[in-house]
Structure 1
Amino acid sequence: MIAKYLKIAEEIKSQLTNGTLVAGSKLPSVRQLSEEFRCSKNTVIKAYSELEKEHLVYAIPQSGYYVVNEFKISAHDPAVIDFLSAGPDKNLIPYTEFQHCLNQAIEKYKEDIFTYSDHQGFHSLRTEIVKNLENSQVFTNPNRVVIVSGSQQAIHLLTALPFPNGKKNILIEQPTYFGMIESLQIHQATTFGIELSMDGIDLERLEYIFKNNDIKFFYIIPKFHNPLGHSYTNKEKKKIVELANKYDVYIVEDDFLSDLDRDKKSDPLFSFDTSGRVIYIKSFSKVFLPGLRIAGVVLPAIMIKNFLRYKFSVDFNSSVLSQGALDIYLKSGMYNSHLKTIKEVYFNKMQLLKRSCEELLPKGTDYTKPDSGFYLSLYLPENVSAKKLALLLSEKLILIDDTNRMFLSEYKKDNLVRLCISQVHDHQIKLGVEKIAQTIALLGK
C-alpha cells in the first residue's frame, strides 16, 4: 500500500505534468491538502518535503509553497537499447556530492564567483587541475592552463587561432570526433586526413603530410579514440612528437577519456614533448558532468596571450560557479573516488560488448577491440550500408551511430558503425548485439 504522503506528491506531479500547475504557481496550503486528502498536516508537510528534495517546489516562510519549474517525465523509453548516446552513465553521475560542492562554492567563493573573473580561469581550480594531471603524466604549472567552456570551445578556438609556426592547414585522423569536423567546416579551414585503424596510422604517410602540406596542427585522440576505441602505443606517440618537432607542426592532444585508462604505463603525447609543441586538452564531460562545461587546456606560453584574446571575444570567462564547485570537488578527493567506480563499470561493459560481438556477429563483420573507454566500432560486410542498418535498427528501438558525420567528404565510408557503451544497460548489451547481428545478416542477403 502506497503511503498517503507519496500519493499527495504524485498528485502534485501529475498536475505539474499536465500543465495545471506551472512555474511560479502557488500550491494549496497545508491545511487545504490535509482536508482534501483527509490526513494530518504532518503528512502534507512530508509530501512537500519530498517534492523539495526533488527540486520541484520551494517554500517561502509565512507565504507557502511554490512550483520551481514545469515537471517533465523522461522521454527515455526503457525498451530502447541505446548504443548511440555518448554522455556518462546517468546512474554514475554524482549529483548529490556535486550539489554539496556547489553550495560550498557559493559560501566559500561568493565574492569571486558572482563578479567578473580572471579570463584565464579560477586560479585555485587551475592549480587543482595541474595536480590532477600529474596522475596522467602531464607535468605543467597553473600559468600554462586556461579554463574553457568544454573541450569543444578549445577545439573551436584553436582551429581559428593563428599559430606561432605561421601555417594554416590542419590534419585530422579519419574518422574522428564530429565536433572537430564541424569546427573545421565553420572556419573553412583547409584540412587533410590520415586514415586510422586499430593498427594505428601510417607513420611514413604522416611524415610525408607534415613535410609537404604546411600543417598548423595535427588533432589526435590518443586514447580510446572516437569512434574506433583505438589507443596509440608509447612508441608511436613518441615518434609522432619527434616528427612534429622535425617539421614544425603543433599537436592538439584531445585526451578526453584518459581517466578510464587502466594501463599505468601509457603516457600522453605531452609527456614526450620537450619543445612546447603539444597542446593538451583535459575535459570533465564524458566521465563526470557533461553539463558542467568546464575543461582545461595546457598551452605553450607563447600562445596563451593570443588564445585568451580569442576566448574573451567568445564568452569573457567560463562559468565561475562551475569552476568553484569543481575546484572543491577535486580538492575533496571525491573525483578520484568517482574515477575508481567508473573505471570498473566501463571496463566491464566493454568486455561484455566484445564477448557479445565475438559470439554473435555474422561472418564478414569485423569489430574493434578497445581495452576500455566508451566506443567500439563495427566494420560491416561490403554489401551492407551503415545508414540502412542504423535506420532499420532504430525501428526496432536500437540506436547506433552510422559515423557519417565523422569523416571528411573524401574519406566517407558507409560500412562503419559506432557502438557506445556508456548509457546502455548491462542486461541490454547481448540482446542489442544479437539484434544488430540479425539485421546485418538480413541486409547482407
Structure 2
Amino acid sequence: MSSKYIQIMGEIKGQLANGTLHAGSKLPSVRQLSEHFSCSKNTVIRAYTELEKEHVIYAVSKSGYYVVNEFQHIKQGNEIIDFFSAGPDINMMPYVDFQHCMNQAIEQYKEELFTYSDQQGLYSLRVQLVKYLQSLQVFTRPERLVVVSGSQQALNLFVSMPFPNGKNNILIEQPSYFGMIESINLHQVTTFGIELSMEGIDLDRLEYIFRNNDIKFFYVIPRFHNPLGHSYTISEKKKIVELAEKYDVYIVEDDFLGDLDPNVKSDPMFSYAPSGRVIYIKSFSKVFLPGLRIATVVLPKRMVDNFLRYKFSSDFNSSALSQGALEIYLKSGMFTSHLKKIKELYRTKMQILQEACKLYLPANTHFSKPTSGFFLSIYLPKNVTAKQVVHMLNEQHIYVDDASRMFLPEYKKENLLRLSISQVNESQIKLGVERLAHCITLIDSRKNHFTSKNFSHFQNG
C-alpha cells in the first residue's frame, strides 16, 4: 500500500488533471486534509512540500497553499501522453552546456552582472544577436535591438504604448497566441480579428481593415503559427508588408519558431521591410530554455527611446546574468549545434503526428499540416466540442489543449483542438492519436444517436 502522503499528492494531481483545481485555487488546510485522510499533519505537510518541489503548488505565509498552474500536468513514467505542454522537449534542454556559460559569465563580467546594466541590453550580447539574426535573414544593427524579459513582455508593451502612426487599434489573426489576447483584454484596447486557416487570410479583407479601422499594428505569427501551425507563403508575406506600407500600419512579427523552418528560402516579413515597417520579435523560450526569459526585439530607430521608457516602468532591465551567459552560448557556437539537433527532432515528431492523424482520425475531422514547429490543430465535427474531448482524454491521462481561449469573443470556436509535439514522446504519438480518434467517434456517435432519436420522437409526436 502506498504511503499516505503519496495518496494525498495523487488526489491533488488528479483534481488538477480533471480541472477541479485551477491556477490560483486555494488548497485545503493542513488540518482539513489530515482529518480527511486520517493521518498526521506532518504527513500532509510532507505531501505539500513534495508538490512545492515539483512546482505544482506554492505556499503563502499565514494564508495557505495555492495551485501554480492548471496546465502543468505532471509526468509519471510512460502513463501520460502529453500533447498539451508547449515548452521545449525536456530531454533536449542544454543544461550542462549553459551552466558552463553561466559560470564563465560570472567570471568574465563579475560586477557588471550584479549591478544595473544597460537598459537596452548588454551591448556585447546585442552584437552576438545581430550575428545570429543574420542566419534568419534579419539584417540590422545593435542600436536597433532591445533585450526584453521574454516576448510576452514586448507584446504587452506594444499593446499599451503609442506608435508613430498615431493610430489606436490592433489587428490579430484568429485564432492567435492567448498571451497576446490576455494583454489586449488587460489593457482594454479595441481589437479587430481576421480569420486564419491553413489556406491563409483573405488579403482583400486585410486591405479593407487596414483602410477603415485606424490600425496601429497587425500582430502576426508568420511561421508555425500558434495554435494552427500555419506558415505564410513568400508572396503572401510580401503582399501583407506592401499593404502595411500603403496604409501606414506597423507589423509586429512574432517569429518564435523561425529557427525550425526547413525551407531555407522562407524569409521573415522583416526582410521585405528592413527600414522599420516590421517590428521583429525573437524569443529563446521555445527553442532553448524557457526559464531564461530572454528575447530580443528589432525596432525602428524612431521607436527605441519610447519603447525603453515603457520597458523602464516594467522592469528597468532584463536579467544581466542570463544575458551574459547567452552571449557566451551564442559566441561559442553551442547554440548553432543545439539548433541542428532540435530542428531534426521536431520535424520528425511532426511527421509522425501527421501520419497518425491521417491514419486514425475520422473522415469528418480536418487537421492542419505544418512542415515543422510545435503545433497542429484539429477541427472537430460540428457535434463535438473541444471541452468534451479534453475531459474524456484527461480520464485516460492524455492531455490536449482546448483552443477556444485563443479567440476573440466574436470569433470563438468551440471545436478546435491544439496538439503540441514538443514534449510528447515519439513512441506515444500514434497511441495518443488513436485514443483521441476513438473519443471523437464515441462523442459524435452519441450526439448523432440522441439527435436522431429526438427527431424521430418529434415526427411521431
TMscore range, shorter length: 0.7 to 0.9
Tell me if structure 1 keeps the 8 A contact 2:220–2:254.
yes
- How far does residue 276 in structure 1 lie from its aligned partner after superposition? 1.1
Task: Find the counterpart in structure 1 of residue 211 from structure 2.
Answer: 211
Equivalent positions of 1:4-403 (< 5 A) are 75-78=74-77, 79-403=79-403
Determine whether 1:422 maps to 2:422. Answer: yes
Match of 2:389, as an amino acid?
Answer: L
Tell me if structure 2 keeps the 8 A contact 1:245–1:275.
no
Aligned partners of 1:345, 1:277: CA distance in 2, in Å?
34
- How far does residue 77 in structure 1 lie from its aligned partner after superposition? 1.8
The Cα offsets for residues 7-29 of structure 1, whole Å up to 9 and x where unpaired, read as: xxxxxxxxxx9859x99xxxxxx
- How far does residue 321 in structure 1 lie from its aligned partner after superposition? 0.1
Aligned partners of 1:260, 1:328: CA distance in 2, in Å?
22
- How far does residue 420 in structure 1 lie from its aligned partner after superposition? 0.1
Bigger mean CA offset, 391-400 vs 144-153: 391-400
Q: TM-score, normalised by structure 2?
A: 0.81
Match of 1:287, as an amino acid?
Answer: V
How much identity, in percent, do the aligned residues show? 67
SS of 2:241 mapped into structure 1: helix
Determine whether 1:443 maps to 2:446. Answer: no
Q: TM-score, normalised by structure 1?
A: 0.84
Aligned partners of 2:346, 2:300: CA distance in 1, in Å?
33
SS of 1:288 mapped into structure 2: coil
- How far does residue 404 in structure 1 lie from its aligned partner after superposition? 1.2
The Cα offsets for residues 129-184 of structure 1, whole Å up to 9 and x where unpaired, read as: 11000000000000000000000000000110100000000000000000000000
Aligned partners of 1:345, 1:292: CA distance in 2, in Å?
22
Tell me if structure 2 keeps the 8 A contact 1:385–1:415.
yes
The count of aligned residue pairs is 380
Task: Find the counterpart in structure 2 of residue 36 from structure 1.
Answer: none
Gaps of 5+ in 1: 1-16, 24-73
SS of 2:85 mapped into structure 1: coil
- How far does residue 120 in structure 1 lie from its aligned partner after superposition? 0.2
The Cα offsets for residues 375-420 of structure 1, whole Å up to 9 and x where unpaired, read as: 0000111111111111111111110011011000000001110000
Tell me if structure 1 keeps the 8 A contact 2:207–2:243.
yes
Aligned partners of 1:124, 1:189: CA distance in 2, in Å?
36
Aligned partners of 1:283, 1:85: CA distance in 2, in Å?
17
- How far does residue 76 in structure 1 lie from its aligned partner after superposition? 1.9
Match of 1:331, as an amino acid?
Answer: K
- How far does residue 262 in structure 1 lie from its aligned partner after superposition? 0.9
The Cα offsets for residues 293-318 of structure 1, whole Å up to 9 and x where unpaired, read as: 00000000000000000000110100
Aligned partners of 1:117, 1:19: CA distance in 2, in Å?
41
Aligned partners of 1:93, 1:384: CA distance in 2, in Å?
37
Structure exhibiting the larger radius of gyration computed from Cα positions: 1
Bigger mean CA offset, 389-398 vs 176-185: 389-398
SS of 2:135 mapped into structure 1: helix
Task: Find the counterpart in structure 1 of residue 7 from structure 2.
Answer: none
Gaps of 5+ in 2: 1-43, 51-72, 446-461
- The runs of at least 4 consecutive aligned structure 1 residues that moved more than 2 Å come to 17-20
